[in-house]
Amino acid sequence: MLRQKDRCFYGNCGNLIHTGGLAHKMKRQIDKTLSKRGRKELRKARMVSAMFLAPSVIGVLVFFILPFFVIIYYSLINNPIQGKFVGLQNFIDLFNNYSFRTAAINTLKFSVISVPLAVIISLLLAMALNCKIPMQSKLRSFFLSPMMVPVASIVLIWQVLFHYNGTVNGLLENFGVEKIDWMKSEHGIWVVVILFLWKNLGYNMILFLAALNNIPKDILEVARVEGAGRVRQFFSIKLRYLSSTILFVTIISLINSFKIFREVYLLSGDYPYESMYMLQHYMNNTFLSMDYQKLSAAAIIMAIVMVLIIGVLFFADDKYGKDVEE
């Protein structure tokens, strides 16, 4: 027989159990209410996000995706009027076209030379300006100044510099070197390379400066204490932290190398000397002649090449650009 104290104890336990069950039930009800409210808020947030994203998505579909499918269609027919399917004949004719082959080789040569130079030189400039040197802010402004110069002024400057009777040839004559017709010789590609570098180095340099300033100072300090020199710090620490920025700068420089047509066009017109004849010249002249089939085929080839190059860059960054802390 239970004593009074024991009965009270067990009775309290029963009340506690009953109270605990009630609390658990209330907690589930509250969680359910909060869950419903949370789902409602989540749906509302998704609707707001969709409303903000809708104009951009519609713009991409209307101005990029849909035209690309139209280009694919044009590349597979004989002409827009008859619309007869010809398969890959337009691509075959394109590769047999001397003007296209010349433009493709020149564009490839220009990109292979200018893009690595733009990345390497801008990185070296950023590392130099990241140190404490005299006139640091003025040098930054100097390298950024080409971005503020209008295209027409850039072309005028380059014409003054590289004309047959221009400044560069005047300096060469002072050193006993024969004049060079820069715009009408094989040296024309170097005029375009220098123009590209002069115009794009400042922007790339600023990106690298921002990335260098984001490298943790304590990691560099530990490496310095452990005896790592500047070269070892750069290749073992800084370069790996800069991998994503190097990828971005490379992609931007590659895209900009395909946009050099405007300056070259103003320098030399529709049909420049062969060494300066780029893919953009070919596509512009093909458009003016209303040969949409070859134009579409060339655009598709350019898109495929760009996607492959960018894919390789992303793969390389993913494989070799791991963060130091990993």
The domain total for the chain is: 2
User: Which pLDDT does position 86 carry in this prediction?
Assistant: 87
- Of 40, 75, 110, the position where a domain reaches its end is 75
Residues 218, 250 share a domain: yes
pTM of the predicted protein model: 0.74
**Cβ contacts of 78 within 8 Å, gap of 6 or more:** 84, 86, 89, 293
Domain that holds residue 248: 97-320
In a domain, 276, yes or no: yes
d(CA 91, CA 300): 10
**For the residues 237-265, what does the mean pLDDT come to?**
85
Alpha helices (H) in 182-278, listed in sequence order: 188-213, 217-225, 230-233, 239-241, 243-257, 261-268
> pLDDT category, 7, cuts 50, 70, 90?
very low
Amino acid in position 258 = F
* CATH label of the domain that carries residue 272: 1.10.3720.10
Residues 50, 126 share a domain: no
> pLDDT category, 324, cuts 50, 70, 90?
very low
In a domain, 225, yes or no: yes
- Of 45, 75, 105, the position where a domain reaches its end is 75
Residues 113, 46 share a domain: no
Residues 274, 196 share a domain: yes
Residues 212, 135 share a domain: yes
Residues 206, 70 share a domain: no
Q: Any long-range contacts for 153-161 (C-beta under 8 Å, 24+ apart)?
A: 154/195, 154/199, 154/263, 155/263, 155/266, 155/267, 158/191, 158/195, 158/263, 158/267, 159/267
The closest of 67, 268, 39 to 260, measured between CA atoms, is: 268
Selected residue with higher pLDDT from 95 and 153: 95
Structure token pair of residue 125? 């400039």
Q: Tell me: the pLDDT tens digits for 46-59?
A: 888 888 888 888 98
Contact 323/107 with Cβ under 8 angstroms? no
> pLDDT category, 121, cuts 50, 70, 90?
very high
User: Which pLDDT does position 38 carry in this prediction?
Assistant: 65
Q: Tell me: the pLDDT tens digits for 196-226?
A: 898 888 889 999 998 888 888 888 888 788 7
The closest of 213, 293, 312, 302 to 257, measured between CA atoms, is: 302
> pLDDT category, 36, cuts 50, 70, 90?
low
Q: Tell me: the pLDDT tens digits for 78-87?
A: 888 888 888 8
Return the CA Rg of the chain. 32
Q: Which helix (H) or strand (E) holds 302?
A: helix 292-320
In a domain, 24, yes or no: yes
> pLDDT category, 9, cuts 50, 70, 90?
very low
**Cβ contacts of 118 within 8 Å, gap of 6 or more:** 196, 197, 200, 201, 204, 249, 253
User: Which pLDDT does position 17 carry in this prediction?
Assistant: 45
